[in-house]
Amino acid sequence: MSGLYPQSHHIKHLEDILYNKKNPVTADKCRWNFNHPEVSNYTGKTPGLDRFDAQFFKVHYRQAHVMDTLSRKSLEQAFQAIYDAGLSPEHLSGRKVGVFIGSCFSETEKAFVYSATLGGGFGVTGCNRSMFANRISYWLNAKGPSMAVDASDCSGLAALEQGFQAIMRGECVAALVGSNNVCLHPQPSVHYARIVKMSKDGKTKSFDQNADGCAKSDAVNMLLLQKAKDAKRIYAEVVHVKSEFTELLETEAGPKFGFYRDSQVAARFINDFYKEAGVPPHAVEYVEAFGAGRL
């Protein structure tokens, strides 16, 4: 596994931040100068977004200049994940390796696609969402499925589900599964703030009585899924993956104050999940929850 996170070049840095209870979401070195009552200048910023070795990843130098930041960093993290697994890109060349990248919004394409003065046509292939995965497959000479998955906030989980199922169906022997997000412009923060409360101090205090919103952050994640018999290193076993669309319930106040899901529908989904996985709920020792705002 590999990843880029706020003030973190790799997972070990993130581990230090989490275990020592540091807050990497800061207002310093802000990427924009935008004074708006709904925008918080606190964001989590990954380092090195301006760096990329185009030659190593077989990217034409003109293409590299108008290539989506998410695509460039996903390529780098794909290499890091392969290396972390004790393999080399040459080991995967020509094999049925799938690539599944979860991504929702890109804040780069406005500059490279809708600007008439840049790109010379390279902006289309540089910012096309499918190329987030296809570029990795091309670099690896991988022969498995290659796709970008957009499922909004759970795009990464949806990509994991697709990669897991592809291995189970025998469509590929391994799968690179990733997700990504970078905060480059203030305007998306305005839109988010009108749906999900944004914390003004950059601290996400989920499930706390003082919770007042969440903070936006960069992140680029990558996992290499393999069958256990083929793996040189195993961090965890994927027992089961499942996702489902459930209807969003709006409050009387409208979507401005967030969306709420039917608790009975959620309970039914969780029960179905554990039955399919063959794992009793009481055996679970750790649960990661997502809390984006306040009630």
Output the pLDDT for position 257: 45
Instruction: Specify the pTM.
Output: 0.90
Rounded to whole angstroms, the Cα distance separating 36 from 192 reads 13
> What confidence score (pLDDT) does residue 260 get?
64
In a domain, 264, yes or no: no
State what percent of residues in the chain have pLDDT above 70. Answer: 91
Q: What's the rounded Cα separation, in Å, for the pair 96 and 101?
A: 16
Q: What percent of the chain is helix, strand and coil (3-state, nearest 5)?
A: 35, 15, 50
In a domain, 240, yes or no: no
Instruction: Classify residue 8: in a domain, yes or no.
Output: no
Element (H or E) spanning 176, and its range?
strand 174-181
Q: Which helix (H) or strand (E) holds 224?
A: strand 219-226
Cα distance between residue 220 and residue 237, in whole Å: 21
In a domain, residue 284? The reply is no
* DSSP-derived 3-state class of residue 91: helix
Q: What is the radius of gyration, based on Cα positions, of the chain?
A: 20
- Structure confidence by residue, pLDDT tens digits, 261-280: 677 888 999 999 999 999 99
CATH number where 28 lies: 3.40.47.10
Whether residue 239 lies inside any domain: the answer is no
Total number of domains in the chain: 1
* Tens-digit pLDDT profile for residues 83-137: 999 999 999 999 999 999 999 888 887 777 776 565 567 878 888 889 999 999 9
Confidence of residue 196 (pLDDT cuts 50, 70, 90): confident
Structure tokens at 118: 């840049």
- Domain of 190 in residue numbering reads as 14-231
Tokens 């570029």, located at residue: 135
Q: Are 104 and 135 in contact (CB under 8 A)?
A: no
282 within some domain: no
The rounded distance, in Å, linking the Cα atoms of 97 and 58 is 18
φ/ψ of residue 181, rounded to 5:
-165, 140
Assign 103 to helix, strand or coil. Answer: coil
Structural domain includes residue 251: no
Contact residues for 294 (Cβ-Cβ < 8 A; gap 6+): 197, 211, 212, 213
Q: Which of 17-31, 120-134, 155-169 has the highest mean pLDDT?
A: 155-169
Tell me if 200 is assigned to some domain. yes
Q: From its phi and psi, is residue 237 left (phi > 0), alpha (psi between -120 and 50) or beta? A: beta
